A and B are shown apart, each in its own frame.
Chain A
Amino acid sequence: MSLFQALILLLCVVGFHGVFFHSSLGRKVFSWVLLQAGLVTFLFSLAPGGPALPKVLAVLAAAVTLSVGLGLTLLCRKFWKQYKSLDENDILKRVPK
């Protein structure tokens, strides 16, 4: 396995793990962004000085990451303003039933 592939593996696994492991919503979002970064890196690894298609797809994937990341960030800010915490356990205790 090459260094590039090792980096892809690391980013994807760390990112995926963080989405479920962290109790802070902010860290979950950051972990998801890491997972996406791993996929973008995978795309770039498919096109070193070669075909344009993987690079174009990488740009589109980055655009998706930006869009969804903005949505998740805004939700985090909303919870922060409301509950003064981003810890999911805190928030779940205080959400009205």
Chain B
Amino acid sequence: MKNVSWFLALLLGALLFYGLSSLPPRNSPILTDHVSSRYVERGEAETGIHSIWVAVLGDYRSFDLLAVSVLFTVTALGILAAGAGTAKTFPILPGLLWLGLGTALSLGLGLLPLKNDGNFLDFEILAFWTDPHRARSQGALLLMAGALLCLAGLLSLFVRRFRSPEGGK
């Protein structure tokens, strides 16, 4: 494996060197910024969210944030699974509760617009229960809250598992 590792590292190094030196410079006329520039120029007007970060993370690319929430959940379930069925090792309910709340919030925000003919995660449709101008910003913030709840659940389970005396079984 050690000989293979040197070969693979050299291969990757050569590839990355080739790629990095072939990248067009930042001010090159061939670079198009049509995606990012729209976020900056029209993000606040389209989403009602002042912060471009929140607009991109919580609205334009909300599906990515949902995927990360699911990743947190799956990792937490893996932590549960690795020790399941042995003698009771650590309390799991607090962590599971955070995870459940976070997942319910995230998936709920995605599914709610479907009821009113919107697309999945289309926060514009949430205008039926809040101020239309704030629907997107509130949706984005709630989605981020959902992701943070899932992260809290993961960290809670991780810390409890790590500190449990039977963590090796």
Contact = CB atoms under 8 A, between A and B. Distances in A.
Interface string B1-31: 1101110110011001100110100100000
Which of B6, B35, B78, B168 gathers the greatest number of chain A CB atoms within 10 Å? B168
Contacts of A12: 12, 16
B40 interface: yes
Interface string B34-66: 011101100000000000110011000100110
B169 to A, nearest CB: 8
Contacts of B68: 60, 63-64, 67
B16 A56 contact: no
Interface residues of B, number: 44
A71 to B, nearest CB: 5
B20 A53 contact: no
Chain A interface, DSSP helix/strand/loop, else mixed: helix
A87 B61 CA distance: 41
A77 B20 contact: no
Interface string A51-71: 111111101100110011011
Given A5-B20, A9-B13, A56 B72 contact: no
A78 B82 contact: yes
B12 A74 contact: no
B37 to A, nearest CB: 7
Contacts of B35: 53
Nearest to B71: A67
Interface in A44-97: 48, 50-57, 59-60, 63-64, 67-68, 70-71, 74-75, 77-78, 80-82
B156 to A, nearest CB: 12
Given A52-B53, A70-B79, A78-B82, 12 more contacts: A8-B20, A17-B8, A21-B9, A50-B36, A54-B36, A56-B57, A63-B68, A74-B82, A74-B162, A77-B162, A77-B167, A78-B167
Interface of A: 1, 5, 8-9, 12-13, 16-17, 19-21, 48, 50-57, 59-60, 63-64, 67-68, 70-71, 74-75, 77-78, 80-82
Query: Which 5 A-B pairs give the minimum distances between C-beta atoms?
Result: A81-B168, A51-B36, A20-B5, A17-B9, A21-B5
